[in-house]
Each structure stands twice: as structure tokens, then as C-alpha cells.
Amino acid sequence: MIIWEKTGSWRLEVNEAGQAAVRHPGAVVLLPLPTAETVLLLRQYRHALGQTIWELPAGTRGWEEDWLVCAQRELREETGFQAAEFTHLGDVWPAPGISDELMRLYSAHHLTPAPLPPDADEEIEVVELPLAEARAMVTDGRIRDGKTIIALSWWRGE
């Protein structure tokens, strides 16, 4: 039985036994690399946390949307850049106890300006940082976002 649905995005289902599951079309996580030594990170306000955090660009894909089409759109919306090349880093389930959401992680290369209007509810600052500093921010706790920690740890510069 569907209890609640965010149109075009996700829905909450509960079965007869009372087990709940969020059905989700998936999301992309992007590691944008302007150079071999730098990464674009976002400073973004997150209502659920009541604070601004450091994270990588990411976004929900449409139910039938191609993963790379979604990746390019989200990169443009959140950073103002497009990528000539994406490298698939891997997939993760961020919360398998409650959701079937799959996050597909990509690095993005050969960036050129190509802005799209951001979503109306997003407050985003794009910051280019050395990769070494971004990794240090994970170690010292300034970056606490799971998807960002995973992508930064999986990227080896290949």
C-alpha cells in the first residue's frame, strides 16, 4: 500500500506486516574535477540538519531517466559546469534498512561553464578546493556527508 508519494520522485510503501520502505528512482553523486589536483565542493543548507554543510553535487534521477543524462543535468544545475567525460566510480545503497535508493557515483572531467537555473529551494555556494584539502576535511570532521566521504575515498586519480 502506498502511504505517501512525492510526485515523480519517491514514495513510501507499507506492507500488511507494517514494514515500511521508501521506493526511490535513484540518485547521482558527482565528483567534479576542474583539474587533476582540485575538486568542486558545495556549501549547502540542509533543512533536516538546520545547518550548512560541505558536500558534493548530487541529485535524484527521474524514474526512467538515463544515469548520465541525470549526472550532466545535476552538475550543471548545482555547479554551473558541464563535463565532457564521466567515470563511474561505483554504486551504494545509502540506507538499505528503509529505502531501495541506489546512488551512482561518478567523477566528472574536462569541465566547461554551462549553467542551468538551480532548483528554487537550493542555497548553494560552489567552492574549488585542492583534493588534498577536501580529504583532510573528511579526516578532521568538516565533511560529514556520507556520499561525499565515499566518493572522495574511492577516487584515486586514475
Verify whether residue 64 is a known catalytic residue.
Answer: no
**Beta strands at 27-32 and 103-113: parallel, antiparallel or unpaired:** parallel
Contact 43, 124 (CB under 8 A): yes
Of the residues 122, 123, 125, 128, only one is catalytic, namely 123
Rounded distance, CA 20 to CA 10, Å? Answer: 13
Point out the residues that are catalytic: 123
